[in-house]
Structure 1
Amino acid sequence: MGFLVNQGASVHIAQDTMTAAYRRWEDIEHPRAWAHTVASRALVRKIAFAEEQPAEQVPEPTSLLARPDAIAEWDRHDLLPVLRSLPPRQRQVLAWALAGFTPAEIAEHLGMTVEAVRASLYKARRTVAELLKEREEGQ
């Protein structure tokens, strides 16, 4: 969940990913990497094909969390607003790094070169450092 939230996703993508994992469990060799890859691709598809469709009623809260309002507590974490301000690719690569993956692993799972991953990580970390410094100076 934290991995997906760091990338700007909803709990629905996590639920769909876990459902797919359950259905293919016998075929999955590296469950953690598989789930991260599937969830990342689902998020990219969602962003690429997003169409705004207003809803008359707000859907019921998800049952993935013990308390449906617990997701709001994640928004209070200092890093989330900073991550949301990053460009999508930098946010995605940084989320993978925060989840413990190396640049080589990230490159393999996202179909990028290791150099491109390192460049995105460098830019993301530099931007995060600048934003945190600005926040500290503004307080």
Structure 2
Amino acid sequence: MVERTSASARDTDDRSAPPVGQRRDALPAETVAAFSAFYRDEVGKLVAFLVWQGASVADAADVAQETMRRALEQWVTIHRPGPWTRRVASREYARRVAGLPEVPADDLTDRNPLLRAPASEIAAWEARQEELRLLGHLPGRQRQVMAWTLEGYQPAEIAEQLRMTPEAVRSSLRKARRTLAAVWREESGRP
């Protein structure tokens, strides 16, 4: 179920941030350096996180870029940027799924630099396709919880970010694992 609270009330850690779309006059060099390092380390992971949730690569790249733009605007107020970007991106993707028709994409690689990757990264992405196919068998909430789990987050951390109880997270994980095991058994012909 998609939460219906306002984006501004849930996506910032501090109310002193400028509104989305408003530029800061000049960011200090250390702020730019910190954000740049974070961006380089995390943007690919954020795209993968969204793909695990069911986004196409093109949609995931677009949502990741928008999320990172918002993160830069609010950088000085974000205390935990990893969970913050995942929470904001996950919610943005959910909003797009709930309200926007899917638009077929031709070749978006020229327009989005996140889609231009070296061969080694493409091979790693292709290796994940079986996982993604299996995750496609899960309902939305279970798939979302599994995406956070695949990112290395613990149930208590996931619960905090998704505003769930840790017990609900563990229950979703248990159900997801049972479903995935059943699909694997069925497809492999094992009892």
TM-score by length of 2: 0.63
* Residue 161 of structure 2 corresponds to residue 113 of structure 1: no
Matched residue, 2:140: 88
For residue 87 of structure 2, the aligned residue among 29, 37, 57 is 37
CA distance in 2, matches of 1:59, 1:68: 17
RMSD over equivalenced CA pairs, Å = 2.4
CA distance in 1, matches of 2:123, 2:101: 24
CA distance in 2, matches of 1:58, 1:72: 21
Is the contact made by 2:108 and 2:115 (CA closer than 8 Å) also made in structure 1? no
1:18-29 pair list within 5 angstroms: 18-29=68-79
Structure possessing the higher relative contact order (Cα contacts under 8 Å, 6 or more residues apart): 1
1:52-131 pair list within 5 angstroms: 52=102, 58=106, 60-61=108-109, 62-67=112-117, 74=125, 77=128, 78-131=130-183
Q: Report how far residue 71 of structure 1 moved.
A: 6.3
CA distance in 2, matches of 1:34, 1:75: 27
Unaligned 5+ segments in structure 1 are none
CA distance in 2, matches of 1:60, 1:50: 18
1:7-26 pair list within 5 angstroms: 7-9=53-55, 10-26=60-76
1:88-131 per-position Cα deviation (integer Å, ceiling 9, x unaligned): 11000010011111111111111111111111111111111111
Larger relative helix fraction:
1
CA distance in 2, matches of 1:95, 1:7: 6
CA distance in 2, matches of 1:64, 1:24: 22
> For the structure 1 residues 75 and 50, does the alpha-carbon distance in structure 2 shift closer, same or farther, using more than 3 Å as the test?
farther
Is the contact made by 1:75 and 1:81 (CA closer than 8 Å) also made in structure 2? no
Amino acid corresponding to residue 83 of structure 2 in structure 1: A
Provide the aligned length of Structure 1 versus Structure 2: 136
Q: Report how far residue 23 of structure 1 moved.
A: 1.5
Matched residue, 2:184: 132
Give the greater-gyration-radius structure (CA): 2
Unaligned 5+ segments in structure 2 are 1-46
